[in-house]
Amino acid sequence: MKNTRRRHSSSLASILSIAAVLVMVGLFLTVMLFGQKLENRLREHVSLVVLFHLDTPEPQIMAVKSALESKEEVKEVIYYSSEEGLKEMTRDLNQDILNTLEYNPIPATLEIHLNADYANQTNLARMKVDLGKEKIVREVNYQSGILEQIEANAGKVLIGIGALALLFVLIAITLINGTIRLELYAQRFIIRSMQLVGAKPWFILKPFLAKGMRMALWSILVTLPVLAGLAYVIWVFIPDAVALINMQEIGILAAIILLFGILLTLICSYFATRKYLRLKLEELY
């Protein structure tokens, strides 16, 4: 009776540990996917702003715009005329600048956004140099500090969650091994008798692998509601997060978590049982 309670409590600990591992793996994969898409969106919002000389004819500016739009790395190019810039500044300052200065001091600009794969320091710096060589261009600027923050923060988050996921995997492996070993110890003489009458290792392994499969399925049943609850919390605090991940990607993540849980328990159960079956008779006591 005491051994039965001990086995049950050990199995429960293993199930909860595996569930914790699967939650961490799910969080890791979700953050990796969500973080990558969020990073891509932020990269695409980083703009390269081209300021033209005041006397630049609009057809020349539009020619530069068309040339930029034909490039593979460019997602979009937005043109702001000097008149639009003057209206915006007049509205912001609540002052008639044109009457005060008697000329429009706001230059025409192009706001360039690159595709996420190309929105990095190297490409932006290269484009800045290339555009700066144009005679009609007065100045070129981009937000280099934002890119540095994006790259640094994304890496730190993934490293932190990955380390936690690895820690939980190690804990789960230890507990699964302990559970299987306790089960084997309780049935050690039956197993030895089966070996003596010629039972094949696979015949003895099957019930323990089945136990591992059951633990995996129970762990998955615990994991899915937890992940669903966490997804709801994320949706409440970050409503836009739903738009970044589609149902197909959620299905793929769920399948990966399911396969990982089953493989983790089966592999641990297999090696723990195989090692125990190789013990000598005197080592069973």
Distance CA(74)–CA(118), nearest Å, equals: 8
**Tens of pLDDT along 136-147?**
999 998 877 777
Distance CA(64)–CA(66), nearest Å, equals: 5
- Reading phi first (left if > 0) and then psi (alpha if -120 to 50, else beta), residue 102 is in left
Contacts of 45 (CB under 8 A, 6+ apart): 113
Cβ neighbours, 10 Å, residue 101: 9
* For residue 134, pLDDT beyond 80: yes
pLDDT above 70 coverage of the chain, percent: 78
Q: Are 76 and 113 in contact (CB under 8 A)?
A: yes
What's the mean pLDDT in 83-88? 79
User: Across 21-25, 100-104, 175-179, which has the greatest mean pLDDT?
Assistant: 21-25
Which residue ranges form the domains of the chain, and what is each CATH number? 2-41+149-284 (no CATH), 47-142 (3.30.70.3040)
Confidence at residue 86, expressed as pLDDT on a 0 to 100 scale: 73
Give the mean pLDDT of the chain. 77
* For residue 4, pLDDT beyond 60: no
Confidence at residue 244, expressed as pLDDT on a 0 to 100 scale: 66
**Tens of pLDDT along 252-278?**
888 888 888 888 778 877 777 777 677
Distance CA(91)–CA(102), nearest Å, equals: 17
What's the mean pLDDT in 110-137? 89
**Tens of pLDDT along 182-219?**
766 666 677 777 777 777 777 877 877 787 788 778 88
The model's pTM? 0.60
